[in-house]
Amino acid sequence: MIEARYHDSVNVLQALCGAQAAAPFDRAEWFALLAETGLVPLVAIASDAGETAALALTEANGHITPLRNWYSFTWRELAPAGPAGDRLLEAIARQLKRRGHRVTLEPVPGEDGSADRLARAFRAAGWQVAVEPCDINHVLNVRGRSFAEYWESRPGPLRTTLKRKAKKVEVEVLTRFDAGVWADYETIYAASWKPAEDQPAMLRAFAEAEGAAGRLRLGIARAEGLAVAAQAWTVENGTAYIHKLAYLESHKALSAGTTLTAELFRHVIDVDGVALVDFGTGDQSYKADWMDGVRKRFRIDCLDAASPRAWLPLAKRILRPWR
């Protein structure tokens, strides 16, 4: 018999995430950092015959959403593959009707089957489910190339910029956390074109933990001793993740960001030997210069037609094609 239950602590994910984690955003430690920002966890778990599945969620006014923030590239189910995991996810979906009238899951990847799997589970549990793209993920499939081979495939203007500007800055890639370099990053970010960080303490704690685990790639570019560009990447399971990048607007003419990005690509390709580089979410035009593939991220919106609170959003969904 399947047992479904809820927890308000992410500690219950420790044993489960170790086996299921495919990315930084699937680990119990990541969800713990999110909880420390003030998000209230609603961890839904189902178990049967030694198998366990979970969804790391949060809830407000009957609307259940993923336990995530804007630092999360993806959100997905934590469940064993195959029919056993599918049954557990369906049990969780059915149980969630007791906690809310709406469940909205995003940004869910499609390339690993997560979007289809979650949509099937909620439909089987009786929810009215709509699936639509909600974001874009740019990636580079290395395909065994060296950095030099990869670089030859980049657009001419990008290669020309690096050739002209590379000697104007000094770049360094650290594989550990460095408090001084991180302070430089925060100074650069605050002076850049980027919006203010939502949870800077969380990002620093993540970088410290990734550095201790040997997964951090912290890049810094300096011009005459002044830090003018900084980036934070991580490497895990053959994938490099580009988390944060910024440069000083006052030194934009140096193209330090381009030089630093190229050096980090060289490091993760030639030194770390990654198979994939993930540029996170967002369809900014500059990402296409560096990457060669695009993946969709999906929103799975589930409404309980038996709940009066779901009737208005359900009616809007039905009428949308007629507008």
* 34-44 mean pLDDT: 96
pLDDT at 106: 98
At residue 123, the pLDDT reads: 98
- Rounded Cα distance between 206 and 216, Å, is 9
Number of Cβ within 10 Å of residue 302's Cβ equals 27
Whether residue 20 is predicted with pLDDT greater than 70 in this model: the reply is no
Domain 3-136+296-322 class in CATH? alpha beta
CATH T-level fold of 144-274: Aminopeptidase (3.40.630)
Q: How far is CA 144 from CA 52, 151, 164, 275, in A?
A: 36, 13, 28, 7
Q: For position 323, what pLDDT does the model report? A: 61
Q: Is 250 exposed, middle or buried (0-12, 13-18, 19+ CB in 10 A)?
A: exposed
Give residue-wise pLDDT tens across range 211-233. 999 999 999 999 999 999 999 99
Report domain extents, the chain: 3-136+296-322, 144-274
- Condensed to tens digits (0 to 9), the pLDDT of residues 167-192 reads 999 999 999 999 999 999 999 998 87
Question: For the segment 52-95, what is each residue's pLDDT rounded down to a tens digit?
Answer: 999 999 999 999 999 999 999 999 999 999 999 999 999 999 99
Q: What is the pLDDT of residues 195-213, one digit of tens each?
A: 777 899 999 999 999 999 9
- Give the 3-state secondary structure of residue 189: helix
What value does the mean pLDDT of the chain take? 94
What's the pLDDT band for 318 if we cut at 50, 70, 90?
Answer: confident
pLDDT of residue 12: 86
In the predicted structure, residue 19 carries a pLDDT above the cut 60: no
Q: What's the rounded Cα separation, in Å, for the pair 229 and 191?
A: 11
DSSP 78: B
- For the cut 80, the answer to whether the pLDDT of residue 261 exceeds it is yes
Range name among 97-101, 253-257, 281-285 with the lowest pLDDT average: 281-285
Residue 116 has pLDDT above 70, yes or no: yes
- Looking at residue 198, its pLDDT comes to 80
Phi-psi domain of 288 (left: phi exceeds 0; alpha: psi -120 through 50; beta: other) = alpha
**CB-CB neighbours of 222 under 10 Å:** 17
Domains 3-136+296-322 and 144-274 share a fold: yes
Which pLDDT does position 195 carry in this prediction? 75
| pLDDT value of position 269 | 98
pLDDT of residue 196: 74
